Chain A
Amino acid sequence: MTTIAGTTAETGTRAAAPLGRMLAAEVRWVFRRPRTLVTLGLFALIPILIAIGVVVADRSGGGGLIGAVAGNGLVLPIAALTVALALLLPLAVAMAAADAIAGEAANGTLRGLLLAPVSRLRLVGVKAFGVLVVAAATTLTIAVVGVLAGMVVVGSADGGMVTLSGTTLGLGAGLARVALVAVWVVGQLAAVGAVALAVSSLTEHPLVVLASVLGGLIAFGVLGAIPALDWLQPWLLTSGWSAGADALRDPITLDAMGSSTLRALCYAAIGVGFAVWRMQRRDA
Chain B
Amino acid sequence: MAVGTAGRLWARIGTGVAIAGAVGLGLVAVPAGAGAAPNLPPVSPEDLVASVEKANPGPLNGTVELDNALGLPAIPGAPDLANGTKDARVWSDGAGKGRVALPSAQGEKTLVSDGTTAWSYDSTDRTATKKAVTPGEHRPEAADPTRSAADAIAKLRTTSTVSVDGTAEVAGRPAYELVLAPKPTERTLLREVRIAVDSEKRIPLRLTVLATGSSDPALEVGFTDVTFGPQDPSLFTFTPPPGTTVKEAPQGGPDHGTNGGKPTVVGDGWDAVVIAKRPAQEQPSQGAPDLSRLGTPVSGSWGSGRLITTAVASAIVTDDGRVAAGAVPQQVLTEALSK
Contact = CB atoms under 8 A, between A and B. Distances in A.
Contacts of A262: 24, 28
Interface string B310-325: 0000000000000000
Interface string A266-280: 111111111111101
Question: Which interface class (under 10, 10 to 19, 20 to 34, 35 or more) fits A?
Answer: 35 or more
Interface in B230-285: 232, 235, 238-244
A4 interface: no
A115 B106 CA distance: 51
B106 A64 contact: yes
Nearest to B241: A162
A245 interface: yes
Contacts, number: 134
A121 interface: yes
Contacts of A271: 18, 21
A119 B240 CA distance: 60
A70 B124 CA distance: 11
A254 to B, nearest CB: 12
Contacts of A158: 242
Interface in A119-153: 119-121
A283 B3 CA distance: 10
B24 A265 contact: yes
Contact of A266 (B13, B21, B110, B121): B21
A68 interface: yes
B163 to A, nearest CB: 34
B298 interface: no
A50 B40 CA distance: 58
B159 interface: no
A114 interface: yes
Given A71-B242, A162-B243, A268-B21, A276 B14 contact: yes
A166 interface: yes
Contact of A281 (B3, B89, B124): B3
A235 B25 contact: yes
Interface string B293-328: 000000000000000000000000000000000000
Contact of A71 (B16, B89, B243): B243
Contacts of A166: 110, 119, 121, 123, 128, 238, 240-241, 244
B6 interface: yes
Contact of B20 (A253, A273, A281): A273
B85 to A, nearest CB: 10
A249 B101 contact: yes
Residue from B1, B105, B232 whose CB has the most chain A CB atoms within 10 Å: B1
Nearest to B108: A164
Contacts of A157: 241-243
Contact of A249 (B3, B10, B108, B241): B108
Given A249-B108, A267-B25, A269-B18, A115 B123 contact: no
Interface of B: 1, 3, 6-8, 10-11, 13-22, 24-25, 28-31, 89, 101, 103, 105-108, 110, 119, 121, 123-125, 128, 232, 235, 238-244
26 contacts: A64-B124, A119-B7, A119-B10, A120-B7, A157-B243, A166-B110, A166-B121, A166-B128, A166-B238, A167-B239, A234-B28, A249-B101, A249-B103, A251-B232, A253-B103, A263-B28, A266-B24, A269-B20, A272-B17, A273-B13, A274-B14, A275-B14, A276-B10, A276-B14, A280-B7, A280-B11
3 smallest CB-CB distances across A and B, nearest first, come from: A269-B21, A273-B18, A276-B14
